[in-house]
Chains A and B, each alone.
Chain A
Amino acid sequence: MEGVEIFPLVSLLIFFSFFMLLGLYVWKTDKKFFNQMGELPLKNDQTQDQ
C-alpha cells in the first residue's frame, strides 16, 4: 500500500482538532451548568443516607 505514512498524519490531525474543539467548549461553557450536572446523583435520594 503506497503512502501509508498518511495514516498517522491524518490521525494526528483528527486528534488535535477534536481535542482543541473539546477544550474550547469546556472552557467556554457556563460553570453553573457543570455544577448542576455534578449534583445529579445527589438530587434524587429517596432513602436515608448513612
Chain B
Amino acid sequence: MQIEKFQYDNTIVRNFTVASIIWGTVGFLVGLYVALELVYPTLNLNLPWLTFGRLRALHTNAVIFAFVGNAMFAGIYYSLQRLLKARMASDLLGKIHFWGWQLIIVSAALSLPLGYTTSKEYAELEWPIDIAIALIWIVFGVNMIWTILKRRERHLYVAVWFYIATFITVAVLHIVNSLELPVSGMKSYSVFAGVQDALIQWWYGHNAVAFFLTTPILGLMYYFVPKAANRPIYSYKLSIIHFWALIFLYIWAGPHHLLYSSLPDWAQSLGTVFSIMLLAPSWGGMINGLLTLRGAWDKVRESAVLKFFVVEITAYGMSTFEGPMLSLKSVNAVAHFTDWIPAHVHIGTLGWNGFLIFGMIYWLMPRMYKTSLFSEKLANAHFWIGTLGILFWALPMYVAGFTQSLMWQDFNPDGTLVYGNFLETVTQIIPMYALRDFGGTLYLIGIILLIVNVLRTTATGKLIRNEEAEAPALAKAYKEHSSEHWHRWLERNPLKLALWSFVAILIGGIVEFVPTAMIESNIPTIDSVKPYTVLELEGRDIYIREGCNACHTQMVRPFRSEVIRYDPENQQYSMAGEYVYDHPHLWGSKRTGPDLHRVGGKYSNSWHYNHMWEPVSMSPKSIMPRYTWLFTTTDADGSLSNNGSLSTSMSKKKLEAMKTLGVPYEDAYIDQWEMHLNEQAQAIADDLNKDPNIEVDANEEIIALIAYLQRLGMDIKKSGTQTASIE
C-alpha cells in the first residue's frame, strides 16, 4: 500500500477557534446586559436598540450560532481531518465557510437591535440572512462530504456520523422553519399560521438544540475526550445504538414546548412520550463519555481540560434528565413560562456546550502552536470560577421559577387569586435575578481568563499552519468480512449513512406535522375569529419588531388559575381556532410580564398609552422599559425630538402577502386600506385626546400598537363560545 504524504489544515481550525472566543465573549456580555436589564430596567438608556425585547435574540443567536457554531466548526475541521486521514477537500470552501459565517453573524448583530426580526426563537434573522445561512451551510456540508469521500481511513468513526447527521438535519430544520413570504427587503411573514406555525417552530427549536447544540458536540466529545484522556471510548457498541436512537427520537420531542397549549392533545402526548424515551440515548452518550475516564480519574486531578470535560458531560446528563422530566405534563404545568426553563437551558449551554468548548480550546491551542499551555493554574481557576458561575446562574432561577409558578396558582379560600396583580410575582423574584447576574459575571470572567491564557500560549509558540501527516492510500477494492452486517457497510458508505439518517429524522416531523396540517378537526374553526384590520396588522408588526413576545405570552392555558387571571369575565382558555390568521404565531415562551391573549378591552386606550410611555406610571415597580420612540414628541421649544410616525408604505403589500398566505382579506378591503387604517386610527386618537393630559396624532405608532392590543381576545368574546371542562 502506497504511503501518501499530505498536510492537515490547522489555519481554518485556529480561525474558527478565535472567532468562537470573540463571539462568545460578545454573546456573554449581551446576555449579562439583558439579564441586568431585568433588575435595572433603565439600562436600555431609553434607546430602542438596547431593550430586552430586541437584545435577547442577539444574545441567543450569538451564543448558539457564533460561540457554539464557530467552536463546533473548529472541532469538526480538526477532528474530521485526522479521523479520515485526509486534509479538508477544499481550502477555498473552508474560507468561504468561515468568512460567510462571520458575515452572517455581523448581519445578525446589526439587524436584530434595529428590529428586523421574524420573532421566531433561534430563527429571528430575516429572510435574506436565512438564505445566506442555507448557502453557507451547504458549503460546509459539501466540503465535509467531499472530504469524507477522499478519506484514507475507510471506516467512519462515530464522531463522523454525528457530524453527518448534524449537517443533514440542520439543513432540513432551517429550510422548513424559514419558509416565509417576503414583504420587503427585510420583512417577511411565516407561511405557517397559529398552531401549525407553533409546531413547526418548536420542531425546529427543539431540534436546533438537538442537532446544533447536541449532536455535533457529542461528536466532539467522542473525539476530544479520548484524546485528552488518552484512552478509547468506553463502548463503541453503545455509541452505535445511542446514535441511531438519538437522531430517531429527538425529532419527535418538539411538542414538549407546547404542552397545555392549543396544540392538539395527541401531538402533545407524542412529544411527551418521545422526550421520556430520549433519556436513554442521551444517557448513553453521558455514560460513554464519563466511563471513558474509568481508570484515569487521577488524571482529572491534574488536568484542567479533563475537569472541564467531566463537568460538561455531567451537565449533559443532568439536563437530559431534567428535559424528559419537564416533558411530563404535571411538571410542565409548573415550569412552563417560568424561569425554571432558562435554568434548564443554561445548565446545558453553560455546562455542556460552554465547558466542552473551553476544554477543547485549552487542549487544542497548545497543540496547534506546538507549545504548552501558558498556565495550567489559570485554566484551573477558569474551571472553578466557571463552575461557580453555572451554580449561581441556575440555582436562583430554579427558586425564581418555583416561586413565580406557585404564586400564580395561589388561591384564597373564596376562590380569588392571592396575587391577582401579576407584577407582585415579578418583584418577588428580582433578588434571584440579581444573583443570576452574579453567576453570569463569574462565567464571563472565566472566558476572560481563557483569553489571557490563550493569548499568552500562542505568543510562546508558532501556529503549525499545515501539519505534516502520512497514511496509506485507500485500497480500491474492499475485501468484505465474511458475515458483514449492514451497519458496518453503512460505516463504509458515508452517502448511504447520510441518506438513512435523513430518512430517520424525517419520520418524526412528518408524523407530527401532516395530521396537524391536514386534519381540520385538529384546529376547529371559530366563526367569530376574523383577520386583523390593516391598522392592527401594523400594530402586530410593531409588537414583533420590539420583541414583545420575549416577555409576554399569548397562550392562556386550561388551568383555573390562568383563566381567572386572564379572562375573569368569560373564563376561556386559548383555543387553536383563534390563531388561524397569526402569521407568525406569537405564543411566546416566557412570562416576565403577563399573558396578553385576552388583554383586548381589559384596559382603556389611555391606560395603554400611558403604560407604553412609562410603564411605572400605571404599574409601580414594573421592570418593563419605556417605549417612547413609538410617540411623536416635541421639545419645550416646539422642535421635534422624536418622530414616531407609523410608516404605511408597506401596508398594502402586507395585506396582499397575508392574502397570498390564505388570510381571507377581501379585494375591496385591500384597495381601501388607507381609508380603513385612518378611520380606525382617528377613532383611537379621538378617544385618547379626550384625556386632558394626552395629545396624540392619529399617525403615531402607539395608535397602531394600541389597536392591536385592544383586538387580542375580542373575537372570542363575540362568539359566546364556551370552552369545555377545564383541567
Contacts and interface: CB of A to CB of B under 8 A. Distances in A.
Nearest to B252: A11
Contact of A26 (B241, B373, B467): B241
A18 B488 contact: no
Contacts of B488: 29, 33
A44 B486 CA distance: 27
Contacts of A39: 232
A11 B511 contact: yes
Interface in B367-415: 367, 370, 372-373
A25 B487 contact: yes
Interface in B3-24: 8
B106 interface: no
A40 B153 contact: yes
A50 B372 contact: yes
A49 B230 contact: yes
A46 interface: yes
B226 interface: yes
Interface in B481-504: 481, 485-488, 491
Nearest to A2: B519
A32 B282 CA distance: 25
B552 to A, nearest CB: 34
A15 B485 contact: no
Nearest to A30: B481
A37 B515 contact: no
Given A37-B236, A38-B233, A44 B469 contact: yes
B145 to A, nearest CB: 19
Contacts of B289: none
A22 B159 CA distance: 19
B90 to A, nearest CB: 21
Chain B interface extent, by class: 35 or more
Contacts of A35: 232, 236
Centre residue among B158, B236, B467, B486 by max chain A CB count within 10 A: B236
B244 A47 contact: no
A42 to B, nearest CB: 6
B481 to A, nearest CB: 8
Nearest to B520: A1
A28 B486 CA distance: 12
Contacts of A26: 237, 240-241, 487
A46 B468 contact: yes
Nearest to A25: B485
A46 B244 contact: no
Interface of B: 8, 79, 82-83, 85, 153, 155, 157-159, 222-223, 226-227, 230-233, 235-237, 240-241, 244-245, 248, 270, 366-367, 370, 372-373, 467-469, 471, 481, 485-488, 491, 507, 511, 515, 518-519
10 contacts: A4-B515, A15-B248, A37-B155, A37-B158, A37-B236, A38-B226, A40-B157, A41-B83, A41-B227, A49-B230
Given A25-B486, A38-B233, 10 more contacts: A4-B515, A29-B488, A34-B236, A39-B232, A40-B155, A41-B157, A41-B159, A42-B231, A46-B468, A47-B467
Interface of A: 1, 4, 7-8, 11, 14-15, 18-19, 22-23, 25-26, 28-29, 33-35, 37-42, 44, 46-47, 49-50
Kindly list the 4 A-B residue pairs having the minimum CB-CB distance in the complex, ordered from nearest. Answer: A38-B232, A34-B236, A40-B157, A38-B236
